[in-house]
Structure formats: C-alpha cells, structure tokens
Amino acid sequence: MNTLKISAFLLLACLIVSCSSTEKEMKETNIYATDTHSYAMPNEAVAKHLMLAIDVNFDKKIITGTATYTIESTNATEIVFDAKNLKIHKTTVDGKEVEFTLGTNDVVLGQPLSIPIKGNSKKVAIHYETTDKTEALQFLNPQQTADKTHPFLLTQGQAILTRTWIPIQDSPQLRLTYSAKVKVPKDLLAIMSAENPKAKSDDGHYNFEMKQPISPYLIALAVGDLVYKEISPRTGVYAEKSMIDKVHYEFGDMEKMVNAAESLYGAYAWDQFDVVVVPPSFPFGGMENPRLTFATPTVIAGDRSLTSLVAHELAHSWSGNLVTNATWDDFWLNEGFTVYFEMRIMEALYGKEYANMLASIGRQDLAEEIENFKDSPEATHLKLDLKGKNPDDGMNSIAYDKGYLFLRTLEEKVGREKMDVFLKEYFNKHAFSTMTTEKFVTYLHTELLAKNNVEFNTDIWIYKAGIPENASKIVSDKFQNVENAIIEWQNGTLNEADLCKKNWNIQQKIHFIRNIPKDISIEKFTALDNACNFSNATNSYIAMVWFEQSINHDYHANNVDAQIENFLMTVGRRWYVSTLYKAFKRNDKLEEAKRIYDKARSNYHSVTVNTIDEMLGVSY
C-alpha cells in the first residue's frame, strides 16, 4: 500500500511538473513480481481483505455466495480477478451494480474477471456460484468417508485452484486476510484455514476469521461429520468419529513437534496447529492450510511410523505460509526449505540416524527424478520457468529433494550454528511476505556467505541442471545393513523367514522393498511374501511400494491383484496412485491400468485425475 501511495504521488507529481523519468520510476516502485499464472494486475489494484459469504449445497454439489473484497488502488479503472469455471451472477462496487467482463478462457488459467472501479472505490462484491467443473472442490458421498453416514466436502487450493471456488486474485504473492460466513447442512461441521469451531453449531451457520494475511492458495474449507480432540491447548485433531481416537494417538507428538520447530526457527505464528484427517480420496499426503493442516488417512498406520508428514506440514508454517514463494517458478523456496526443516524436526524428536534414513530415501527419489528428466534437463533447475505450463508440472521431487540437498550441502559448508542463525533471521525478517529466488540469492549472499567469508556455488545449484559435484553425501549405517541383507538373501545365505524377523523400522522396510533386485526369481519373491505377508500390509506406504514391486515382478500370488485394485479404488493420494499406474505402464500393462482406472477415476480428486489421464493417455 505504501508503494501504491508512492506511485499515486508520483503520478500526481507527473501531472503537475512534467517529468520524463516518472514512468520509469513508477515501474521501479512496482512491488509485485510478474506471475504468469494469474491475470491479476496487483500493481494497479489489489484486494487486501476478503469477506466470503457462502452456502454449501450438497444436493447440487455447488457453492453459491458472494466474495466481497476491500481493495486498494492507485488510479486504476479496473480491478482484475482470476476465475475458472465459475458462474458470475453480478458484481457491485461500493454497493452499486457495475458491468463486469469475463475474458477468454484458458484451460489452465481460466478467465480474467475485470470489474470497473474508480480511484476511491473501496468494496468490490462478486456474486457467484461454482459449477460441476470446479477443480478445487471434491464432494464425497457417504460411501467415500470413514463412517459412511454423511457426505463430505474438501477443497484443495494449491497451486492455482482457489479460483475455481472463489473468484480471487490468485497469485501466491497477494496475501490477504479473510473472514467467512459459511452455511452447511446442520448435521455437519465446517472448518477452514482460520480460527475454527470445536463442535457443531445448532443451525449449520459458521463464522471464520483469518487475521493474518495469507496467500490465496491457502484458503481452505472442509465440511463433514467431524469431531475434535485436543492434544495440547494449541494442537489437536479433527476426524470422523470412527477414527478420532486412532488419529489422536497417531499424531500424539504434535505438541512436541511444534516445540522442536519453535526452538529451531522462532515462535509459531499462527496460534493454533490442528490437523484434519480427510477421506482417502484427498490427492495429497498433507496440505499445509494455515492453522488447519489437511492430512490423508493413509498416514494413520497405528504406530506413528508415517508422522514425518505432520512435521513437514508444520514446517510449512514457516517456509511457505510465513515466507511464501512469490510465484510458482519459486516453488522450491516453499518445498525445499520445508523438507530441510522437516528433517530437522524429525532429528530433534527421533534422532540423527532416523532423519538420515528419511533423507536417504529422498536422495534416491531425486536420482530417479533426474533420470526421468534426462530429455528436459531444465526441469531439474531449482528456479523454474513454468510460463505457458500448468504449475503442477513443476511440482515434483526436484523442488523437494534437490532443494533439500542444496540446503543440507550449504549447512555442511557453513556449519549448523551459522545456518540456524541465518534461517531463523530469514523467517523473522520476511515473515508475512513473499520471496523470489533472486531475492533469496541476494539475501543468502549478504547475510550468510559474504558475512562469513564463504564461497558457495549457489548459482549452479539454483540455475543449472542436475546435482552439483559438491552435493552432501547421505550415508546411513542402518540402510547399509539392509543392503547387506539383500545381498545375503540374493545369494542364499539369508532365508526369507529370518529376513522378516529383522527388527527393522519403517524406513528400513521401505528401503528393503524398493531395492529388491530386478532379477530376483519369482520363487524367491513369492517366498518373501509368504514369510512377510507384504501383500496384506496394513501400513499404506509398505503396501504401496510392495504393490509397485509386485507389478514390476509380474507377481500375482497371495491375492495381491485384488489388493492393488482395492487400494487404487479407495486411495486417491496422487503420489501413491501415480506410482502404481506408472508401474503398470512401464511394465507393458497399460490395459490393466486402464481397466482399474476406469472404475476408480470417479473416486479421485481432479488433481489426481489430471495427472493420471495424461499418464495413461485417456480422456473421458
């Protein structure tokens, strides 16, 4: 706003005294980066607060209502929002109806929605409803929930889907505060990425407030027959009744995680940290919606073995939600920092060895991803150029695991103490603001490298392909044991029964299964399953990697085919299902993949559908 005022002043000055450099100066005072994934022109007019008033209609599977924005502008004559597959009924400016314009539709970006304003316009209201093409919303029938008694609604905003359920200036750099009035059927609870109710209201009306400015992709809503159970005064879980106790146990370390995170990088800025476990069709493991992380039920393993996911989403409360990637080209600033932070939280709670195993799995994923991109090496840059592409295309293991490796290597170079001082100050100084890669590089150089007289190949890491030669080496003795066991098993000195008796933790089991030799005989593979019963694993991660190997090894015993099909019918987590469909495809079993997908597709969220449609080359 200050900058807007300065721009207005410069313009006024230009009218009074003719000044040739004014235009240039005005450009230099523009505060927002160019975001090729949003039509908004925030340097002209920008929304600062959203008041949402909506009604969730489960019969029609739509949301209807009004988004009213408090805006700031210079001398702009219009304000531009992003809208995709929305029906816009009417727009008003300070209470007076005005004629809006919807521009041409782009399959990825949607449409620009332009509303005429004057210099002193304050409130812009958009009356709208969603359509059956909304990509953010997933309306689930009772059968798709845990309790099977009530319907459920969930939203997913990242990366550019918020515009499919709210007309909004949908760029991550455009933070805004919001309040919401949400009306739902009265037997359901509504919760948002905001201050939340802990129990149902009598009449299905709920009011929300998010007082801190957040990015549009972090606006989220879940509606279902949910209950709340506290873990500590500031942490707790929402889940359906039949799951709440299991979920409460699974995430029992949440307060400890928040404490560990705060000791590392400063106070938790969002007061409350709750997690809602949503139905299994949710396309992600977790989503860091502020104050209310969304999590897949596939991490409820019964033994707290998959809770690094919570550490990850919690870490986003700093890297992502507090300091936010300015554009999706800078996505690694969100995810790479978060993986680094996640590992530090896991190390603080469960030790270095454990965190190192997690890191080592990520390192293998990275090697695989780099191999996948061997024909488009620029996709392995940290800083991306996603212009003209769907930002989803950039959301792969490069941002996560190469981003992590960069920070880990940097930490090794400067020492942990200096690294932590630097990161704490980075979050503190840039809290509630956004970051471009270029701004980060400058900040890194002055505040860490130059200050400590350290040379580091930052530009190569960020702007070049592949993994630089100075990358940190991740070694784990516990993984070495697993690798030795595989060799012994392969050469016959270790039998399957003894293998299964090994007291391995989850990471070791995953490492083992993922590294089963390609050429192992089907007899040995079958004997392994007979002894360890992997085909009936209750841990979703173990099941998933075992199913992948079963497909690779053309293995069909122990009912594994039915198990795979059942898994793909119920779970919609993109990472899991895409791993399995990819395995079918790679192994010339495309027909089998299509047969299952044809039945399962309607259970998946649009995010997963888009990925798998493309992967299998189908259109519906």
Q: Which residues bind ligand BES (CB under 6 A)?
A: 158-159, 284-288, 309, 312-313, 316, 335, 395, 575
Is residue 67 within 8 Å of 126, Cβ to Cβ? yes
Q: How far apart are CA 323 and CA 428, in angstroms?
A: 9
Query: Which entry of 39, 206, 217, 400 is annotated as an active-site residue?
Result: 400
* x-or-dash string of contact with Zn ion, 374-393, rule CB under 5 A: --------------------
Pick 350 or 404: Cβ nearer Zn ion:
404
Minimal distance, residue 351 CB to Zn ion, in Å: 23
Pick 127 or 312: Cβ nearer ligand BES:
312
Quote the DSSP letter at residue 36: T
Instruction: Indicate if 400 belongs to the active site.
Output: yes
The count of residues interacting with Zn ion (CB under 5 A) is: 2
Pick 138 or 325: Cβ nearer Zn ion:
325
Is residue 513 within 8 Å of 547, Cβ to Cβ? no
129 touches, from Zn ion, ligand BES, none (C-beta below 5 to 8 Å by class): none
Which three-class secondary structure state does DSSP give residue 118? coil
HSE value, Cβ hemisphere, 13 Å, CA-based, for 310:
30
Instruction: Indicate if 268 belongs to the active site.
Output: no
Locate tokens 């798709």: which residue? 144
Question: Position 526: which residue type?
Answer: T
285 touches, from Zn ion, ligand BES, none (C-beta below 5 to 8 Å by class): ligand BES
Tell me the two tokens of residue 172: 């991550």
Pick 113 or 278: Cβ nearer ligand BES:
278
Q: How far apart are CA 225 and CA 183, in angstroms?
A: 14
Minimal distance, residue 429 CB to Zn ion, in Å: 22
Minimal distance, residue 284 CB to ligand BES, in Å: 3
Pick 156 or 338: Cβ nearer Zn ion:
338
Query: Which entry of 313, 335, 342, 411 is annotated as an active-site residue?
Result: 313
* x-or-dash string of contact with Zn ion, 330-349, rule CB under 5 A: -----x--x-----------
Minimal distance, residue 208 CB to ligand BES, in Å: 21
Is residue 288 within 8 Å of 236, Cβ to Cβ? no
Alpha helices (H) along 227-283 = 244-250, 254-265
Nearest to 282 by CA among 160, 146, 172: 146
Minimal distance, residue 514 CB to Zn ion, in Å: 21
Nearest to 359 by CA among 317, 393, 318, 403: 403
Nearest-CB residue to ligand BES? 285
Question: Position 52: which residue type?
Answer: L
Q: For residue 40, how many other CB atoms are within 10 A of its CB?
A: 25
Of the chain, the end-to-end C-alpha distance in Å amounts to 46
Pick 80 or 315: Cβ nearer Zn ion:
315
Minimal distance, residue 504 CB to ligand BES, in Å: 21
**What is the DSSP code string of 89-123?**
EEEEETTEEE--EE---BTTTBEEEEEE--TT--E
35 touches, from Zn ion, ligand BES, none (C-beta below 5 to 8 Å by class): none
Active site residues: 313, 400
The binding site for Zn ion (CB under 5 A) comprises: 335, 338
